[in-house]
Amino acid sequence: MDRKITKNLCDWYKAKDRKPIILRGARQVGKTWLVRNLATKLNLDLLELNFERNIKLKTIFKDNDPQKTLLRLESFFNKNINVGQSLLFLDEIQSAPELLSKLRWFAEEKPELAIIATGSLLDFALEEYKFSMPVGRISYMYLEPVSFEEFLLAQNQHKLCELLASFELKDEIPEVIHERLWQLLRDYVFVGGMPSAINNWIEKKSFISVGEIQQNILQAFRDDFSKYAKRISTERLDEVFRAVPNLLGKKFKYSSVNRDVRFESLKNALNLLCKARICHKVFFSNANGIPLDAGIKENIFKVIFLDTGLASAALGLSFNETYSFDEFKLSNEGRIAEQLIGQLLRTISPYYIDSKLHYWINEKTGAESEIDYLIQQNTEIIPIEVKSGTTGTLRSLHQFMEIKNLKIALRLNADYPSITDVKVKNHAGKLIEYKLISLPLYLIEQINRILTI
């Protein structure tokens, strides 16, 4: 299936100042396939080494001499290596993290050899092994699960993607197209963005079959917990892992996971799952200015899961019960809709940035309010309200816009696109004015472009 990051990788390969690159992402999001596909696309000789399957492969890199290493690689693959037409692929490099320091010598002495390393649990390895990283001599890219637009491309819905990519606020979306996109988005919510689940869906169009794939992926994540056993009990990891889908859309409290366990052990478990990219924190920001990170409070956050399909499977949502709904209204006030938007917001960041998510909450008694997400658009802060259907109050948004004195807000829901000049009065009679841009959820990947127009 087409992945948008492929273009970035092609640009990386063609760049004159190319450096070895580390491709980071959770397990089973498609890193290995992506590298193999890149080699095929560019007609490169792929030299693939998987250090998780065979840790002894690291002995090929026993010194800091790239020329000698190439000779050993030729012996291992039993062929001559044309460095200008080859791609060295170091898969699951977290099993041999000391090799990362070797990349500087290739960057300096053999830059003509393209090198990609991938790692699913790299953060753990980097913490345990103390060595000097080749700063300035390697690059990073981050791979998320398949996005909604990539999901469309995988089903040959290229014209729908073109429509989304060219949409402007003055345009009207025909009802039949709106309904078609909405149906496909509902499919995506339950299938999710894990490539194996999508391939299964395209082949069989069976949610039962997809569900089996998803449960296998969830179990594979649990099986990985044994790799963290030196650092924390697998029981704590499993508790947090199972709790996160149930706490979507809520301020994360460790007492909601297990009030009988020390909070520190649960905190460590959550941090490990976030390092593995199975979960992502949505940090509170006071939104007093940019960057949003400058106003975060580390102890106030929500958590989303890696993938909407996996979250749905973990929650045990029955597709037959929810698909018949006229609106995208799922259990617990659309928590899956909030998961969906957080997941897709991560896909629209540049691939060289490890994206962060932000939200805002006011817990003052009598004035409780919450903004689901905050994004930065140039020098402006844009609040995002997520609604699972076509209706819903905007009390929190009105309050936020008044407090922060902002002029543009974004609502994502099930309705058609619209622009509204909001004029409401607060409890004291003061007029609150701002422009509200409403977009259907399926346009989420276009918001940076749309907000710029």
Which band of pLDDT confidence, cut at 50, 70 and 90, is reported for residue 229? low
Q: Supply the pLDDT for residue 317.
A: 77
Q: Which two tokens stand for residue 289?
A: 């200015």
Q: Which two tokens stand for residue 446?
A: 């276009």
pLDDT in tens, 285-314: 999 999 999 999 999 999 999 999 999 999
Q: Which two tokens stand for residue 221?
A: 């994540």
* Boundaries of every domain in the chain: 5-142, 149-452
Instruction: State mean pLDDT over 404-415.
Output: 95
SS3 state of residue 403: helix
Give the whole-angstrom CA distance, residue 227 versus residue 234: 9
If you search the block for the tokens 């000391």, which residue do you land on? 98
Which band of pLDDT confidence, cut at 50, 70 and 90, is reported for residue 335? confident
Give the distance from CA 404 to its chain's centroid: 28
Percentage of the chain surpassing pLDDT 70?
A: 92
Q: Supply the pLDDT for residue 324.
A: 46
Q: What CATH homologous superfamily does 5-142 map to?
A: P-loop containing nucleotide triphosphate hydrolases (3.40.50.300)
Phi first, then psi, for residue 191 (nearest 5°) are -80, -40
Q: Is the per-residue pLDDT at 181 higher than 70?
A: yes
If you search the block for the tokens 């980097």, which residue do you land on? 126
What is the residue-averaged pLDDT of the chain? 91
Q: Is the per-residue pLDDT at 127 higher than 90?
A: no
**Neighbouring residues of 162: CB distance < 8 A, sequence distance ≥ 6:** none
Closest CA to 310 of 342, 348, 278: 278
Closest CA to 327 of 392, 397, 245: 392
Among the ranges 82-86, 98-102, 271-275, which has the highest mean pLDDT value?
Answer: 82-86
CA dist 95 → 98, 258, 279, 433 (Å)? 9, 32, 22, 55
pTM listed for this prediction: 0.93
Sign of CA dihedral 317, 320, 325, 328: positive
Instruction: State mean pLDDT over 105-134.
Output: 81
